[in-house]
A = this chain, B = another copy of it.
Amino acid sequence: MAVKGIPGHRERQALATKAQVAAAARRLFAEQGYVATTIAAISAAAEIPAQTIYSAFGNKAAILGEISKTWMRDAETRRLSDDALTADDPIDRLRQTAHWHRRQFEAGYDVIVIYQEAARADPAMAEEMRRVWAAREHELTKYLAAFEGELKVTAERALDILLACTVPEAYRTLVIERGWSLDEYEVWLGDALIAQLL
């Protein structure tokens, strides 16, 4: 018998199935593309019947949503952005901002590429991506408000610079193409933000 608040056997099994499907789909989306990957292919790779996948998710976009949730959990986005927000020293806050973004790329650069491809092919996914970016901008705006009086530029301009320095393509250039370590990327981003904002 399931105890309240603790998932019972069937719930745990359902969660494990979803995780298994999401992991297989993530590999296929990255290798073959989001558009080219069918539910049938995910079913074969995950060794889960297609009907179970349809029941659990409904469609491919929902599987990508699950992949994204896993990514945010692995990247500890919430904890790291809270840490950055509550540090006393503005330099320390920007170093932690660099760390939080490094963790996002480290844990899910592949997911960003999948989203970018999906958004190009599917207007609904493009809309979803705009929603996610708008939410991110909203969070970053709140975050920058904690720097009041400590920035050498307006909060609006600081947001612009933060967005420009954290474009995935700069990460791709330095870490994936030019072979920088993740630590080197994090130091570079921290230095760039400190030089431009404080």
Contacts and interface: CB of A to CB of B under 8 A. Distances in A.
Contacts of A165: 170
Contact of A163 (B160, B163, B164, B173): B173
Interface in A136-174: 160-161, 163-165, 167-170, 173-174
A164 B170 contact: yes
Contacts of A178: 160, 163-164
A95 to B, nearest CB: 16
Interface string A181-196: 0000000100110011
A177 B163 CA distance: 10
A54 interface: no
Contacts of A173: 160, 163-164, 167
Chain A interface residue number, banded: 10 to 19
A59 to B, nearest CB: 24
Nearest to A177: B163
A161 B174 CA distance: 8
A102 to B, nearest CB: 14
A12 B173 CA distance: 42
A195 B168 CA distance: 21
B168 A180 contact: no
Contacts of A191: 196
A152 B137 CA distance: 34
A192 B188 CA distance: 12
Given A169-B169, A195-B195, A195-B196, 6 more contacts: A160-B178, A161-B188, A163-B173, A163-B178, A167-B167, A167-B173
